[in-house]
Structure 1
Amino acid sequence: MQAELAHQALHTLTIVEIKSFISASLFKDFELALDQYIIYRNLIRLSQSEYQDIHLAIKDDIYDSFFQRKSVQTLVDINSIALVSVDVIKEEVIQWIN
């Protein structure tokens, strides 16, 4: 599942890139998501558009397991990745993580 959503909050627009993490290698999925996130973020900064933030949305169970690994947390921190944990069954945001 991949989609782009925008929401307006406190006069800023945020792009949310949704990633599934469904391949046999979660780390490979993470690598692809990280690369795409960084490219999108840089293009947004270069375009000076009204969009000011970009978040990587992931299923809550992937956040609660894979994203709790020390190595993944370190890469998220180093690259300043903003995350959104989502319950896809209830179709609701669980947590915005900056």
Structure 2
Amino acid sequence: MPARDKYHDNFKNALAKDGWRITHDPLRLKWGNKDLYVDLGAEQLLTAEKAGCQIAVEIKSFGGASEMNDIENAVGQYFVYRSVMARTEPSRTLYVAVHDQVFIEIFEEPVGRLIIEDYQIPLIVFDPQTELILRWIPNKPIVD
């Protein structure tokens, strides 16, 4: 299994505070002979009678030597996971979670906005100190 992101526990706590139940830590995906691990699987229930909204979240700290290399790797990983999930976990929506400073420094910059707009990568922005979710992009999923 891969190493956990620096902010794994902070984000996990933020997700729980936001009303989500962690179902997988990590969420294992299998395709052929390959195993992939998305950081978290979670669901939110509206009532006991209704099926909940399910998500998977890959947490990224962008702590490497190059922000551009970090974003290239994150985008590539997102699409690999999304392709496998479309076939194995089609009811889940895949998100990338980033802390608030990464969002400001990367995703509010022109190249980050371009990637979000062109590739429609859903983001969750969180504060690792308060362990709160600050923003869902495009929007927080709604349970029907």
TM-score category (smaller protein)? 0.7 to 0.9
Among 104, 112, 135, which residue is 1:72 paired with? 112
Greater CA radius of gyration, 1 or 2?
Answer: 2
Letter of the 2:42 counterpart: H
Mapping for residues 47-86 of structure 1, pairs under 5 Å: 47=88, 49=89, 51-86=91-126
User: Out of 22, 27, 50, which is 2:68 matched to?
Assistant: 27
1:6 Cα deviation after fit: 2.2
Question: Contact (CA 8 Å) 1:60, 1:85: kept in 2 or not?
Answer: yes
Over the matched positions of the two proteins, sequence identity in percent amounts to 27
- Could you tell me which residue of structure 1 aligns to residue 132 of structure 2? 92
What is the Cα deviation at residue 17 of structure 1? 0.5
TM-score, normalised via structure 2 length: 0.62
- Equivalenced residues, count: 97
Contact 1:56/1:83 (8 A) holds in 2: yes
Amino acid at match of 1:88: P
Shift of 1:65: 2.1
Q: Which consecutive unaligned segments of at least 5 residues does structure 1 have?
A: none
Separation (CA, whole Å) in 2 of partners of 1:44 and 1:68 = 28
Counterpart of 2:83, as a letter, is N
What 5-or-longer segments of structure 2 have no aligned partner? Answer: 9-38, 47-51, 139-144
Higher helix share: 1
